[in-house]
Amino acid sequence: MLKLTKNIKNKAYELGFQKIGIAKPDFYSQDSERLNKWLTLGYHGKMDWMKKRVNERENIYTYFPEAKSIISLGLNYFHGKSTNEFKISNYAWGKDYHDIIKKKLIKLSDFIKLNKKNVKALMCVDTSPIMEKSWAQKAGIGWIGKHTNLITRDYGSWIFLAEIILDIDLIFDPIFEDDLCGSCTACIDYCPTNAIVDEYVLDSRKCISYLTIEHRGDFPVEHQGNLDSWIYGCDICQEVCPWNEKFSQKSIEDDFKPNPEILKKKKKDWKNLTLDEYKKIFKGSPVKRTKYSGLKRNISKNL
Ligand code: B12
Ligand code: SF4
Ligand code: SF4
Protein backbone atom coordinates (compact mmCIF):
# COMPACT_ATOMS: atom_id res chain seq x y z
CA MET A 1 0.00 0.00 0.00
CA LEU A 2 2.82 2.37 0.92
CA LYS A 3 4.72 1.58 -2.29
CA LEU A 4 1.65 2.04 -4.47
CA THR A 5 0.80 5.34 -2.73
CA LYS A 6 4.35 6.60 -3.29
CA ASN A 7 4.36 5.49 -6.94
CA ILE A 8 1.03 7.22 -7.62
CA LYS A 9 2.30 10.45 -6.08
CA ASN A 10 5.53 10.34 -8.07
CA LYS A 11 3.58 9.70 -11.27
CA ALA A 12 1.24 12.63 -10.55
CA TYR A 13 4.20 14.99 -10.10
CA GLU A 14 5.74 13.61 -13.30
CA LEU A 15 2.50 14.41 -15.13
CA GLY A 16 2.80 18.04 -14.02
CA PHE A 17 0.47 18.26 -11.02
CA GLN A 18 1.94 20.49 -8.31
CA LYS A 19 -0.22 19.21 -5.47
CA ILE A 20 -1.34 15.71 -4.57
CA GLY A 21 -2.89 14.31 -1.41
CA ILE A 22 -5.06 11.35 -0.47
CA ALA A 23 -8.28 11.76 1.47
CA LYS A 24 -10.30 9.22 3.38
CA PRO A 25 -13.82 8.97 2.03
CA ASP A 26 -16.52 9.35 4.64
CA PHE A 27 -19.84 11.08 5.04
CA TYR A 28 -19.00 14.51 6.45
CA SER A 29 -22.20 15.88 7.93
CA GLN A 30 -20.85 19.44 8.24
CA ASP A 31 -20.21 19.71 4.48
CA SER A 32 -23.64 18.25 3.78
CA GLU A 33 -25.33 20.71 6.14
CA ARG A 34 -23.48 23.69 4.65
CA LEU A 35 -24.26 22.64 1.11
CA ASN A 36 -27.95 22.17 1.88
CA LYS A 37 -28.16 25.50 3.70
CA TRP A 38 -26.48 27.21 0.72
CA LEU A 39 -29.00 25.66 -1.67
CA THR A 40 -31.97 26.48 0.58
CA LEU A 41 -30.89 30.13 0.65
CA GLY A 42 -30.88 30.09 -3.16
CA TYR A 43 -27.17 30.98 -3.36
CA HIS A 44 -26.75 28.69 -6.37
CA GLY A 45 -28.90 31.05 -8.48
CA LYS A 46 -29.98 29.28 -11.64
CA MET A 47 -27.38 26.53 -11.42
CA ASP A 48 -30.08 23.87 -11.06
CA TRP A 49 -27.46 21.19 -11.68
CA MET A 50 -26.09 21.98 -8.20
CA LYS A 51 -29.43 21.05 -6.69
CA LYS A 52 -30.29 18.13 -8.95
CA ARG A 53 -27.49 15.85 -7.79
CA VAL A 54 -27.26 17.08 -4.20
CA ASN A 55 -27.54 13.52 -2.82
CA GLU A 56 -24.32 12.60 -4.57
CA ARG A 57 -22.57 15.92 -3.87
CA GLU A 58 -23.25 15.71 -0.13
CA ASN A 59 -22.38 12.03 0.20
CA ILE A 60 -19.52 10.43 -1.71
CA TYR A 61 -21.00 6.96 -1.16
CA THR A 62 -24.11 7.86 -3.13
CA TYR A 63 -21.88 8.88 -6.04
CA PHE A 64 -19.41 5.98 -5.72
CA PRO A 65 -20.45 3.38 -3.12
CA GLU A 66 -17.17 1.44 -3.34
CA ALA A 67 -14.99 4.52 -2.66
CA LYS A 68 -11.99 3.72 -0.43
CA SER A 69 -9.48 6.48 -1.33
CA ILE A 70 -9.81 9.90 -2.92
CA ILE A 71 -6.71 11.16 -4.71
CA SER A 72 -6.92 14.95 -4.82
CA LEU A 73 -4.80 16.82 -7.34
CA GLY A 74 -3.94 20.47 -7.92
CA LEU A 75 -2.65 22.10 -11.10
CA ASN A 76 -1.24 25.64 -11.03
CA TYR A 77 -2.69 27.84 -13.80
CA PHE A 78 -1.54 31.34 -12.82
CA HIS A 79 -0.31 33.61 -15.59
CA GLY A 80 -0.69 37.08 -14.15
CA LYS A 81 -3.20 39.74 -13.21
CA SER A 82 -5.50 41.14 -15.82
CA THR A 83 -4.61 44.74 -16.63
CA ASN A 84 -6.68 45.09 -19.79
CA GLU A 85 -9.53 47.50 -20.38
CA PHE A 86 -11.91 44.53 -20.44
CA LYS A 87 -10.86 41.63 -18.31
CA ILE A 88 -11.05 37.87 -18.70
CA SER A 89 -10.22 35.71 -15.70
CA ASN A 90 -6.68 34.39 -15.94
CA TYR A 91 -7.92 30.79 -15.77
CA ALA A 92 -9.45 31.30 -19.22
CA TRP A 93 -6.51 32.87 -21.08
CA GLY A 94 -5.37 29.56 -22.55
CA LYS A 95 -6.92 26.20 -23.39
CA ASP A 96 -9.81 24.65 -21.47
CA TYR A 97 -8.53 23.07 -18.24
CA HIS A 98 -11.15 20.34 -18.36
CA ASP A 99 -9.54 18.89 -21.51
CA ILE A 100 -5.96 19.38 -20.31
CA ILE A 101 -6.57 17.82 -16.90
CA LYS A 102 -8.68 14.95 -18.28
CA LYS A 103 -5.72 13.83 -20.40
CA LYS A 104 -3.48 13.80 -17.32
CA LEU A 105 -6.10 11.93 -15.27
CA ILE A 106 -6.38 9.23 -17.94
CA LYS A 107 -2.60 8.74 -17.85
CA LEU A 108 -2.59 8.56 -14.05
CA SER A 109 -5.52 6.18 -14.00
CA ASP A 110 -3.85 3.90 -16.60
CA PHE A 111 -0.71 3.90 -14.45
CA ILE A 112 -2.70 2.87 -11.38
CA LYS A 113 -4.42 0.07 -13.29
CA LEU A 114 -1.07 -1.19 -14.51
CA ASN A 115 0.17 -1.40 -10.93
CA LYS A 116 -3.03 -2.78 -9.45
CA LYS A 117 -5.20 -5.10 -11.51
CA ASN A 118 -9.02 -4.76 -11.52
CA VAL A 119 -9.05 -1.47 -9.67
CA LYS A 120 -12.10 0.72 -10.22
CA ALA A 121 -11.12 4.37 -10.81
CA LEU A 122 -13.43 7.34 -11.26
CA MET A 123 -11.93 10.51 -12.74
CA CYS A 124 -13.36 13.91 -11.78
CA VAL A 125 -12.63 17.46 -12.79
CA ASP A 126 -15.10 20.20 -11.95
CA THR A 127 -18.26 18.70 -13.45
CA SER A 128 -18.61 15.64 -11.20
CA PRO A 129 -21.13 15.99 -8.35
CA ILE A 130 -18.57 16.07 -5.54
CA MET A 131 -17.24 18.89 -3.34
CA GLU A 132 -13.75 19.23 -4.74
CA LYS A 133 -12.49 21.94 -2.35
CA SER A 134 -13.54 19.96 0.71
CA TRP A 135 -11.81 16.83 -0.58
CA ALA A 136 -8.64 18.82 -1.28
CA GLN A 137 -8.71 20.12 2.28
CA LYS A 138 -9.23 16.60 3.63
CA ALA A 139 -6.35 15.40 1.47
CA GLY A 140 -4.07 17.96 3.14
CA ILE A 141 -3.59 20.18 0.08
CA GLY A 142 -4.74 23.44 1.68
CA TRP A 143 -7.57 25.28 3.41
CA ILE A 144 -10.79 26.89 2.19
CA GLY A 145 -10.34 30.66 2.40
CA LYS A 146 -12.98 33.23 3.27
CA HIS A 147 -13.51 33.82 -0.47
CA THR A 148 -14.41 30.10 -0.57
CA ASN A 149 -11.53 29.00 -2.79
CA LEU A 150 -8.98 26.39 -1.75
CA ILE A 151 -5.63 28.01 -0.92
CA THR A 152 -2.26 26.27 -0.82
CA ARG A 153 0.76 27.51 1.09
CA ASP A 154 3.03 27.34 -1.96
CA TYR A 155 0.88 28.39 -4.96
CA GLY A 156 -1.91 30.39 -3.35
CA SER A 157 -5.36 29.63 -4.75
CA TRP A 158 -4.49 29.66 -8.45
CA ILE A 159 -4.84 25.92 -8.77
CA PHE A 160 -7.46 23.80 -10.47
CA LEU A 161 -8.66 20.77 -8.58
CA ALA A 162 -9.25 17.24 -9.84
CA GLU A 163 -9.66 13.79 -8.31
CA ILE A 164 -9.37 10.08 -8.93
CA ILE A 165 -11.57 8.02 -6.63
CA LEU A 166 -10.49 4.41 -6.10
CA ASP A 167 -12.09 1.30 -4.64
CA ILE A 168 -8.79 0.33 -2.97
CA ASP A 169 -7.05 1.57 0.15
CA LEU A 170 -4.07 3.91 -0.04
CA ILE A 171 -2.20 5.72 2.74
CA PHE A 172 -4.16 8.84 3.69
CA ASP A 173 -2.62 12.27 4.20
CA PRO A 174 -3.50 14.26 7.31
CA ILE A 175 -6.36 16.73 6.90
CA PHE A 176 -5.26 20.38 6.52
CA GLU A 177 -6.69 21.56 9.84
CA ASP A 178 -5.34 25.14 9.93
CA ASP A 179 -7.24 28.17 8.68
CA LEU A 180 -4.50 30.56 7.59
CA CYS A 181 -6.84 33.46 6.76
CA GLY A 182 -6.49 34.76 10.28
CA SER A 183 -8.05 38.20 10.76
CA CYS A 184 -7.69 39.16 7.07
CA THR A 185 -10.86 40.17 5.22
CA ALA A 186 -9.35 41.57 1.99
CA CYS A 187 -11.41 39.37 -0.35
CA ILE A 188 -14.65 40.42 1.36
CA ASP A 189 -13.68 44.10 1.42
CA TYR A 190 -12.64 44.29 -2.25
CA CYS A 191 -15.43 42.23 -3.83
CA PRO A 192 -17.20 44.89 -5.92
CA THR A 193 -20.63 43.28 -5.59
CA ASN A 194 -20.50 42.11 -1.95
CA ALA A 195 -20.98 38.56 -3.15
CA ILE A 196 -19.14 37.07 -0.17
CA VAL A 197 -22.11 37.54 2.11
CA ASP A 198 -20.40 36.03 5.12
CA GLU A 199 -16.95 34.61 5.76
CA TYR A 200 -16.69 31.40 3.68
CA VAL A 201 -20.13 31.93 2.11
CA LEU A 202 -20.71 33.10 -1.45
CA ASP A 203 -24.01 34.20 -2.94
CA SER A 204 -23.48 33.22 -6.58
CA ARG A 205 -26.30 35.48 -7.73
CA LYS A 206 -24.16 38.50 -6.83
CA CYS A 207 -20.86 37.06 -8.08
CA ILE A 208 -19.46 38.42 -11.36
CA SER A 209 -18.04 34.99 -12.14
CA TYR A 210 -21.53 33.47 -11.97
CA LEU A 211 -23.16 36.33 -13.85
CA THR A 212 -20.66 36.33 -16.73
CA ILE A 213 -20.23 32.55 -17.07
CA GLU A 214 -23.21 30.65 -15.70
CA HIS A 215 -26.15 33.04 -15.89
CA ARG A 216 -28.20 32.71 -19.08
CA GLY A 217 -30.18 35.56 -20.60
CA ASP A 218 -30.40 39.13 -19.39
CA PHE A 219 -29.13 40.07 -15.93
CA PRO A 220 -31.51 40.76 -13.05
CA VAL A 221 -32.11 44.51 -12.67
CA GLU A 222 -30.02 44.80 -9.48
CA HIS A 223 -26.89 43.55 -11.25
CA GLN A 224 -27.09 45.62 -14.43
CA GLY A 225 -23.87 47.43 -15.14
CA ASN A 226 -21.93 46.12 -12.14
CA LEU A 227 -19.39 43.86 -13.81
CA ASP A 228 -16.36 46.02 -12.99
CA SER A 229 -14.91 45.57 -16.54
CA TRP A 230 -14.96 41.76 -16.34
CA ILE A 231 -16.33 40.07 -19.47
CA TYR A 232 -15.64 36.47 -18.44
CA GLY A 233 -15.12 35.32 -14.84
CA CYS A 234 -13.64 37.49 -12.10
CA ASP A 235 -10.34 37.30 -10.20
CA ILE A 236 -10.59 40.18 -7.74
CA CYS A 237 -11.01 38.19 -4.52
CA GLN A 238 -8.03 36.06 -5.51
CA GLU A 239 -5.90 38.97 -6.73
CA VAL A 240 -6.16 40.80 -3.40
CA CYS A 241 -5.44 37.75 -1.28
CA PRO A 242 -2.08 38.11 0.52
CA TRP A 243 -1.36 34.43 -0.01
CA ASN A 244 -1.59 34.96 -3.76
CA GLU A 245 0.35 38.20 -3.66
CA LYS A 246 3.18 36.40 -1.92
CA PHE A 247 3.17 32.88 -3.32
CA SER A 248 1.82 33.00 -6.89
CA GLN A 249 4.01 31.13 -9.31
CA LYS A 250 3.77 31.21 -13.10
CA SER A 251 2.25 28.06 -14.54
CA ILE A 252 4.62 25.80 -16.45
CA GLU A 253 1.74 24.35 -18.47
CA ASP A 254 2.11 25.40 -22.14
CA ASP A 255 -1.61 24.99 -22.73
CA PHE A 256 -2.42 27.67 -20.13
CA LYS A 257 -0.19 30.27 -21.80
CA PRO A 258 -2.25 33.36 -22.64
CA ASN A 259 -3.66 33.60 -26.12
CA PRO A 260 -2.14 36.93 -27.32
CA GLU A 261 -5.36 37.71 -29.20
CA ILE A 262 -7.16 37.95 -25.85
CA LEU A 263 -4.63 40.18 -24.14
CA LYS A 264 -4.12 42.69 -26.94
CA LYS A 265 -7.78 43.53 -27.44
CA LYS A 266 -8.99 47.00 -26.57
CA LYS A 267 -12.52 48.02 -25.59
CA LYS A 268 -13.46 48.92 -29.17
CA ASP A 269 -12.18 45.55 -30.48
CA TRP A 270 -14.36 43.70 -28.00
CA LYS A 271 -17.29 45.90 -28.92
CA ASN A 272 -16.90 44.94 -32.59
CA LEU A 273 -16.22 41.23 -31.97
CA THR A 274 -17.81 39.15 -34.74
CA LEU A 275 -19.00 35.55 -34.52
CA ASP A 276 -16.20 34.38 -36.82
CA GLU A 277 -13.57 36.09 -34.69
CA TYR A 278 -15.12 34.64 -31.52
CA LYS A 279 -14.98 31.13 -32.98
CA LYS A 280 -11.36 31.56 -34.02
CA ILE A 281 -10.08 33.10 -30.78
CA PHE A 282 -11.94 30.86 -28.36
CA LYS A 283 -11.55 27.48 -30.09
CA GLY A 284 -10.72 25.01 -27.27
CA SER A 285 -11.05 27.76 -24.63
CA PRO A 286 -13.26 27.71 -21.50
CA VAL A 287 -14.87 30.90 -22.80
CA LYS A 288 -16.95 28.80 -25.19
CA ARG A 289 -19.14 27.96 -22.17
CA THR A 290 -20.81 31.35 -22.29
CA LYS A 291 -21.31 31.18 -26.08
CA TYR A 292 -21.02 34.15 -28.44
CA SER A 293 -24.32 35.60 -27.24
CA GLY A 294 -23.22 35.45 -23.58
CA LEU A 295 -19.88 37.11 -24.24
CA LYS A 296 -21.57 39.84 -26.30
CA ARG A 297 -24.02 40.41 -23.42
CA ASN A 298 -21.11 40.74 -20.95
CA ILE A 299 -19.29 43.15 -23.26
CA SER A 300 -22.37 45.30 -23.79
CA LYS A 301 -23.00 45.51 -20.01
CA ASN A 302 -19.51 46.96 -19.56
CA LEU A 303 -19.79 49.62 -22.27
C1 B12 B 1 -20.63 25.97 -8.36
C2 B12 B 1 -19.22 26.45 -8.59
C3 B12 B 1 -19.00 27.82 -8.76
C4 B12 B 1 -20.10 28.86 -8.47
C5 B12 B 1 -20.26 28.98 -6.94
C6 B12 B 1 -18.91 29.12 -6.21
C7 B12 B 1 -18.89 28.59 -4.78
N8 B12 B 1 -18.14 29.23 -3.93
O9 B12 B 1 -19.54 27.61 -4.46
C10 B12 B 1 -19.54 30.11 -9.22
C11 B12 B 1 -20.09 30.14 -10.63
C12 B12 B 1 -19.85 31.45 -8.55
C13 B12 B 1 -18.04 29.78 -9.26
C14 B12 B 1 -17.06 30.75 -9.39
C15 B12 B 1 -15.70 30.47 -9.40
N16 B12 B 1 -15.14 29.25 -9.50
CO17 B12 B 1 -16.14 27.57 -9.32
N18 B12 B 1 -16.93 25.87 -8.99
C19 B12 B 1 -18.15 25.52 -8.64
C20 B12 B 1 -18.23 24.00 -8.39
C21 B12 B 1 -18.83 23.34 -9.64
C22 B12 B 1 -19.00 23.57 -7.14
C23 B12 B 1 -18.67 24.36 -5.85
C24 B12 B 1 -19.58 23.98 -4.69
O25 B12 B 1 -19.70 22.83 -4.34
N26 B12 B 1 -20.25 24.97 -4.10
C27 B12 B 1 -21.20 24.72 -3.01
C28 B12 B 1 -20.88 25.59 -1.81
C29 B12 B 1 -21.81 25.23 -0.65
O30 B12 B 1 -19.58 25.27 -1.42
P31 B12 B 1 -18.53 26.33 -0.91
O32 B12 B 1 -18.90 27.72 -1.21
O33 B12 B 1 -17.20 25.87 -1.34
O34 B12 B 1 -18.73 26.18 0.66
C35 B12 B 1 -17.85 25.39 1.41
C36 B12 B 1 -16.91 26.25 2.25
O37 B12 B 1 -16.93 27.60 1.85
C38 B12 B 1 -17.26 25.96 3.66
N39 B12 B 1 -17.97 26.86 4.50
C40 B12 B 1 -19.19 27.35 4.34
N41 B12 B 1 -19.55 28.04 5.42
C42 B12 B 1 -18.52 27.99 6.30
C43 B12 B 1 -18.35 28.55 7.56
C44 B12 B 1 -17.16 28.34 8.24
C45 B12 B 1 -17.01 28.94 9.58
C46 B12 B 1 -16.14 27.56 7.62
C47 B12 B 1 -14.85 27.35 8.34
C48 B12 B 1 -16.32 27.02 6.35
C49 B12 B 1 -17.51 27.24 5.72
O50 B12 B 1 -18.09 24.84 3.66
C51 B12 B 1 -18.70 24.60 2.41
C52 B12 B 1 -18.68 23.12 2.27
O53 B12 B 1 -17.40 22.62 2.58
C54 B12 B 1 -16.68 23.64 -8.22
C55 B12 B 1 -16.28 22.26 -8.74
C56 B12 B 1 -16.69 21.15 -7.80
N57 B12 B 1 -17.26 20.08 -8.35
O58 B12 B 1 -16.49 21.25 -6.62
C59 B12 B 1 -15.96 24.79 -9.01
C60 B12 B 1 -14.67 25.36 -8.41
C61 B12 B 1 -14.92 25.60 -6.96
N62 B12 B 1 -14.53 26.66 -9.08
C63 B12 B 1 -13.31 27.01 -9.29
C64 B12 B 1 -12.91 28.29 -9.78
C65 B12 B 1 -11.49 28.41 -10.31
C66 B12 B 1 -13.79 29.38 -9.77
C67 B12 B 1 -13.45 30.86 -10.00
C68 B12 B 1 -12.13 31.29 -9.39
C69 B12 B 1 -13.45 31.16 -11.54
C70 B12 B 1 -13.26 32.63 -11.90
N71 B12 B 1 -12.06 33.17 -11.80
O72 B12 B 1 -14.19 33.30 -12.29
C73 B12 B 1 -14.67 31.57 -9.33
C74 B12 B 1 -14.40 31.91 -7.84
C75 B12 B 1 -15.51 32.62 -7.17
C76 B12 B 1 -15.46 32.41 -5.65
N77 B12 B 1 -15.12 33.46 -4.90
O78 B12 B 1 -15.71 31.31 -5.17
C79 B12 B 1 -12.33 25.94 -8.82
C80 B12 B 1 -11.69 26.41 -7.50
C81 B12 B 1 -10.25 25.95 -7.32
C82 B12 B 1 -9.76 26.34 -5.95
N83 B12 B 1 -8.47 26.56 -5.83
O84 B12 B 1 -10.51 26.44 -5.01
C85 B12 B 1 -13.28 24.67 -8.70
C86 B12 B 1 -12.91 23.69 -7.60
C87 B12 B 1 -13.24 23.98 -10.08
C88 B12 B 1 -11.96 23.16 -10.30
N89 B12 B 1 -12.09 21.87 -10.57
O90 B12 B 1 -10.85 23.64 -10.22
N91 B12 B 1 -17.84 28.44 -9.13
S1 SF4 C 1 -15.19 36.38 -8.10
FE2 SF4 C 1 -15.40 38.65 -8.09
S3 SF4 C 1 -17.59 39.01 -7.73
FE4 SF4 C 1 -17.18 36.85 -7.20
S5 SF4 C 1 -16.77 36.85 -5.01
FE6 SF4 C 1 -14.78 37.10 -6.02
S7 SF4 C 1 -14.48 39.33 -6.16
FE8 SF4 C 1 -16.63 38.99 -5.71
S1 SF4 D 1 -8.02 37.57 1.13
FE2 SF4 D 1 -7.60 37.16 3.28
S3 SF4 D 1 -9.56 36.39 4.10
FE4 SF4 D 1 -9.68 36.27 1.88
S5 SF4 D 1 -9.03 34.20 1.40
FE6 SF4 D 1 -7.19 35.47 1.28
S7 SF4 D 1 -6.28 35.36 3.35
FE8 SF4 D 1 -8.38 34.60 3.49
CA–CA dist 119, 210 (Å, integer): 37
Q: 48 catalytic, yes or no? A: no
Give the mutation target among 90, 196, 226 for probing the ligand 2 site: most ligand atoms within 8 A of CB.
196
Q: Which residues contact 90 (CB under 8 A, 6 or more apart)?
A: 77, 78, 79, 80, 81, 82, 158, 235, 258
CA of 148 to the centre of ligand 3 (A): 9
The low-confidence residues of the chain, meaning pLDDT below 50, are none
CA of 133 to the centre of ligand 2 (A): 17
Annotated active-site residue in 26, 110, 126, 189: 126
- For residue 225, the model assigns a pLDDT of 66
The β-bridge relationship of strands 19-23 and 69-76 is antiparallel
Residue spans per domain, the chain: 1-303
CA–CA dist 179, 78 (Å, integer): 22
- For residue 83, the model assigns a pLDDT of 86
Q: 26-43 as b/e, with b when 16 or more CB fall inside 10 Å?
A: eebeebbebbeebbeeeb
CA of 250 to the centre of ligand 3 (A): 20
